[in-house]
Amino acid sequence: MRLLGSLLVIGSAALLGMLRAEAGRRRLRLLEALSAALRCLEGELCGSLRPVRESLRLTAERSDAAAAFFRACLEQPDDALLGEGWAEAALSLRELTEEERRVLSGLGAVVGRREAERQSEALLRAAERFGSAAEAVRENAGREYRLRAALGLGAGVVLAILAA
């Protein structure tokens, strides 16, 4: 019975480690998706000159991991409040760091409210920033996944030894 309990503790701790490691992979997917989606949005707003809401809707349709963010931006019924919806949606992305959420949130004051050139600069600068962050995460992803999984397994072994 003790052996079974120890195995359950070890297995659950290892699973927690792997779940934590998976959060890093979700972060990578979100950063990549945001970078691509912001470039797409820049093209829609500045290249095709579509209205902001239509551009956001099209960007949400073309995006995968970032689609929920763009759909949340569209929940504001009034175009004047679109920036507030953008900021709220940005702050809800827990996979991002505080600084990344601040950068994304700041775009809400620019999108649909400034001339095309300023929108383009801001969107492309943010897309580049998210792309760079994704590259940094990608470089460490494999190592970090193995580390977090091993730490979870190690913690489970320690707990099992202490409980025995």
More confident residue, 57 or 21: 57
The contacts of residue 163 (CB under 8 Å, 6+ apart) are 5, 6, 9
DSSP-derived 3-state class of residue 64: coil
More confident residue, 25 or 78: 25
Cβ–Cβ < 8 Å for 70, 96? no
Phi-psi region of 49 (alpha: psi -120 to 50; beta: other; left: phi over 0): left
Q: What is the pLDDT of residues 35-51, one digit of tens each?
A: 999 999 998 888 887 78
Q: What is the pLDDT of residues 19-38, one digit of tens each?
A: 777 777 888 999 999 999 99
